[in-house]
Structure 1
Amino acid sequence: MSAHPPMLQIPDHPFRAFIFDCDGTLVDSMPLHFIAWTQSLRAHDAPFDFTEEFFYSTAGVREHDMVRRLNAMHGCALDPDGVAETKAEIFIKLVPQVTVVRPVADFARSLHGRAPMAVASGSEEPIVRACLEANELIHLFETIITPRDVAKGKPAPDMFLLAAERLAVPPEDCLVLEDGMAGVEAAKAAGMQWVFIPRTLR
């Protein structure tokens, strides 16, 4: 598994499976997610400014948990289901603008047929599938894990452990590719090695 794009630094280890985050890792969708969040919060009369700094600091956190964090931070009572549903409706309309993170997508393509791969994302499954289908990546992956599949999302290890179970590979033989610190913490908790995907790679 040594062949990989020069911009992507892969640890020298005989990994048997690979687990990819979606947003900000496989596809460059984060700016569009920020737009969708901003518009959804405005539609629900959120009494605070939603900043890019906060948004990127919570990359990988499931949408309902994001709303709960915002409620706790700002002392308000936004409906997690309502805000997340509106955000998803807005984002789906933006999917045609989503492009790949080229080095990561090329790496995934290079592994196809050579090692099993999964996607483990904090976004809901319809959004993940739409982004992957729009960029002709979905056929690369044996399974897709989203928050509805587990009791706890990132930074808990549940999503990555379930991905390893579905791929029938021990956690220590899996490599995680992630752009969010919540995902990195989840990989560590799962006992997996990880590669951080910086925004400069997009």
Structure 2
Amino acid sequence: MYERYDGLIFDMDGTILDTEPTHRKAWRETLAGYGMQFDEQAMVALNGSPTWRIAQAIIELNRADLDPHRLAQEKTQAVRAMLLDTVRPLPLIEVVKSWHGRRPMAVGTGSESDIAEALLNHLGLRQYFSAVVAADHVKNHKPAPDTFLLCAELMGVAPQKCVVFEDADFGLEAARAAGMDGVDVRLL
């Protein structure tokens, strides 16, 4: 089905790993310390965004006077403590395994690199990917194309010969902006 592509790129959170419930729990715990809440639907709309951008939206929603980067850091520390024990691969990981060794593959994620690398290594999945591009590797995040363009560059594949697997509108928009085809895994 994906033979016409020279490279496969996978978003991580919600695409190949079931991290979303853990991220939401970490947000709830972090925000409880400030007496703040978040709207779950608004959070879903921000899937694929870097943590600081989500923190900024929560701060604005709660009309709080906090530094979004500091709040994001606190949430990241909370999620780090939970992730390795709670995250499992999603069914799309079978596509990754079936294409391993046949095409170069990369992960393009809005998560921080230390979390992405820790999760992929912990689950024995890092070996499948020639590159992992995370939020701290690019200046412009999804929906900008930078994450996926860097994935293509690191794989040595022309962007127009790549396909991106995504579960978020921002990610699919980023794939289009990069000149890549996108597969909305929510429809699979």
Normalising by structure 1, what TM-score? 0.87
Give 3-state SS (helix, strand or coil) of 2:183's partner. Answer: strand
Unpaired runs of at least 5, structure 2: none
Q: Report if aligned partners of 2:135, 2:141 keep a CA contact under 8 Å in 1.
A: yes
Could you tell me which amino acid in structure 2 is paired with residue 162 of structure 1? Answer: L
2:94 match: 106
Measured after TM superposition, the shift of residue 108 of structure 1 is 0.3
1:30 is aligned to 2:26: no
Q: 3-state DSSP class of the match of 2:139? A: coil
Matched residues, percent identical? Answer: 34
Q: Give the gaps of 5 or more residues in structure 1.
A: 3-11
Which of 155, 158, 180 does residue 143 from structure 2 map onto? Answer: 155
**Structure 1 Cα separation of the partners of residues 168 and 75 of structure 2:** 20
Residue in structure 1 matched with residue 133 of structure 2 by the alignment:
145
Tell me what 1:5 maps to.
none
- Report deviation, 1:110: 0.8
How far apart in 2 are the matches of 1:170 and 1:138?
22
Residues 1:164 and 2:152 are matched in the alignment: yes
Give the aligned length. 187
1:13 shift after superposition: 5.6
In the other structure, the counterpart of 2:9 is: 19
Offset of 1:144 from its aligned partner? 0.7
| Contact 1:155/1:186, CA 8 A, preserved across alignment | yes
Query: Which of 42, 51, 57 in structure 1 is aligned with 2:32?
Result: 42
Alignment-mate amino acid for residue 189 of structure 1: A
Query: 1:97 maps to which residue?
Result: 86
* 1:163 CA displacement: 0.8
CA RMSD for the aligned pairs? 1.6
- Deviations 1:60-117 (Å, cap 9, x if unpaired)? 0001111222333443322222211111111112221101102x10100111111001
